[in-house]
Amino acid sequence: MPGLAGSRILSFLNFKATSLNHIKETHGLLITTGLKNPSILGKLIQHYCALSPRSTSNYAHLILNHQEDENPFLLNTLIRCSRPRDSILLFANRFSKSNVVFDDRTYIFALGACARSEAISALYEGKQLHACIIRNGMASNPLVSTTAMYFYASNGQIDLARQVFDEMPMRSSATWNALMTGYCYQRGSSNENAREALMLFKDMLLDVCGVEPTDTTMVCILSAASQLGELEIGTCVHGYVEKTIDVPENDVYIGTGLVDMYSKCGCLSSALAVFYRMKEKNVLTWTAMTTGLAFHGKGKEALEMLDQMQGHNVMPNVVTFTSLFSACCHAGLVAEGLHLFRSMGRKFGVEPHIRHYGCIIDLLGRAGHLREAYETMMRMPVKPDPILWRSLLSACKLHGDVGMGEKVAKVLLQLQPVSRQVSARAPSEDYIALSNVYASAGRWDNVEMVREEMKVKGTGTKPACSAVKSLLDSLYSSNQRPGRKN
């Protein structure tokens, strides 16, 4: 009977469960039959964690807590399947118990949870966990160290990720890919990071261990080339891909990377050639091509891509619509942009985000439809941020609409406390923008009034800085150091 019951339960758990009651019935059957098979219990934990309410995860914790002996497999399954914050807390609670033994996978899953967590404390907790890994001698495992690199890169600590990489005695392709990805996709990533990724790729090719690049490597390197915007580097990477992969356009991710690279490097014809040679295209591919057309001012061609997407049964996503609205803005396609905006939710099931509202307000503002842009902002389901108001204020200056400019500036100045949290320069920018609106209309008395108000409130502009002067000052100061011979 237990064997028959076990096979029935396992066959049920192999399918995706849609009801909490069904999972609880299976759990009850396990208890009544006395089955304690770890693989079956692990699948039950996965099903509990797959359901979103917190109460369902409590049932998964009960499975672990009612085990007579600590089972690393069940603990690892629960850490891996739980939400990042719950995984971190579970690891911390178990770590405080002296009888719990962790294996490599425990540290990998816990550190991965720190990488995915959005909590402010995740960086500190991950560093503490990494210290435990080093102290317990787990850092010699390449998978553990690779996860540590991923954790640091995800939290913007690319220098620490590089330090972990440099200290590793053995590296796999996943290790190289993790660091390259960290360089390419850092928040506020600079050209310097992209060049570091390319240099890392060169080191990988010269590595004596003979680690071969994978498709993930090539996608990352194509991203680095597109960030640099240098066509020569991009074509060299494309040449390497052609030599190492039979038909790179058959790989949807490499093909998408090539489309993105050529578009951003200014070679739209090559991007289109790669795009139409691809046998398989996903929503990322279509979005990359749409973004490239928008970047080059091909608004109508970008909108035609939407019709072609529908013909290939590919539904656009949030980023696709951002690219389409951007294309309408650059090409001045007001009617087309508004029609698309009004139909995106009804026809495509994509609800407008604040970035979409920003594109529409920019579109209306550039075309001089300032009142309609203002009314659109007032009807937004979310509160407009200062960036949207400043976009509208710039449009008021462009078209010389002082009345609307005063109304928008009044709202912006009321948002000054919020702006200070983002940038100390925001208040002065708002005053100067209003002053420029008055100046464009020749209302110099109002310009003087705004300037006087800035003086009264102590709001000053940030002094300009010359890069040449900064370089000369640094050279001068280094020449004046004690003991330096000229």
274-305 as b/e, with b when 16 or more CB fall inside 10 Å?
A: bbeebeebeebbbbbbbbbbbbbebbebbbeb
Three-state SS at 242? helix
| CA 456/CA 47 separation, integer angstroms | 63
Look at residue 464 and tell me whether its pLDDT is greater than 90.
no
According to DSSP, residue 245 is labeled S
User: Would you kindly state where each structural domain of the chain is located, as residue ranges?
Assistant: 172-280
| pLDDT recorded at residue 420 | 43
- Supply 309's token pair: 């997407």
Band of pLDDT at residue 111, cut at 50, 70 and 90: very high
Structure tokens at 456: 């009264």
Residue that the structure tokens 């009004």 belong to: 342
pLDDT band at 460 (very low <50, low <70, confident <90, very high): low
Would you say residue 458 has pLDDT above 70?
no
Determine the Cα angle at 422 with ends 419 and 426, to 5°: 45
**Residue 11 has what pLDDT?**
55
Q: What is the pLDDT of residues 263-284, one digit of tens each?
A: 999 999 999 999 999 999 999 9
Over the stretch 152-205, which tens digit does the pLDDT of each residue have? 999 989 999 999 999 998 899 999 999 999 998 876 556 889 999 999 999 998
Mean pLDDT of the chain: 83
**Residue 295 near residue 327, CB atoms below 8 Å:** no
